[in-house]
Amino acid sequence: MTAIVAGAASNTTHNWNHVNWKQIRRNVYRMQLRIAKAVQEKRWGKVKALQRILSCSKSAKLLAVKMIMSNKGAKTPGIDKVPWKTPKQYWHAAFSLCTITQWK
């Protein structure tokens, strides 16, 4: 019997070099469009919910790390004082980003 696995893959099964960046950018862009549309319609609850979904998404985290690593400051250590040099470190960094907590 063959099991079909659905849903998001775990971060241990993927490799930085095998990420489909076109799909990642498309996912983030589509979510940003949904947020902009909700702002235009003044649906603030929807805006907040979509922002939370975007900021917690794996696509957004991967794209954020990729953008950092592709600019001039890529070799500069961050707040953790550790420079990321290998694709494995990029992958770990993307999935070790903080999750959002409720601020009151």
In whole angstroms, give the CA distance from residue 29 to residue 60: 10
Residue 22 has pLDDT above 80, yes or no: yes
Structural domain that includes position 35: 20-95
Residue 28 falls within a domain, yes or no?
yes
Residue 2 falls within a domain, yes or no?
no
Residue 50 buriedness (CB in 10 A; 0-12 / 13-18 / 19+): buried
Residue 10 falls within a domain, yes or no?
no
pLDDT in tens, 35-76: 999 999 999 999 999 999 998 899 999 998 888 888 877 777
In whole angstroms, give the CA distance from residue 28 to residue 57: 9
Residue 34 falls within a domain, yes or no?
yes
* Stretch 13-22: mean pLDDT: 83
Residue 8 has pLDDT above 70, yes or no: no
The predicted pLDDT at position 28 comes to 96
pLDDT band of residue 102 (cuts 50, 70, 90) is: low
Structure tokens at 67: 């953008």
Residue 6 has pLDDT above 50, yes or no: no
Which residue did the predictor score with more confidence, 24 or 71?
24
Flag the least confident range among 8-17, 20-29, 41-50.
8-17
Residue 77 falls within a domain, yes or no?
yes
Q: Do residues 59 and 27 touch, judged by C-beta distance below 8 A?
A: yes
Residue 7 falls within a domain, yes or no?
no
Phi, psi of 13 (to 5 degrees): -95, -5
Residue 61 falls within a domain, yes or no?
yes
* Stretch 11-30: mean pLDDT: 84
Residue 75 falls within a domain, yes or no?
yes
Domains held by the chain: number = 1
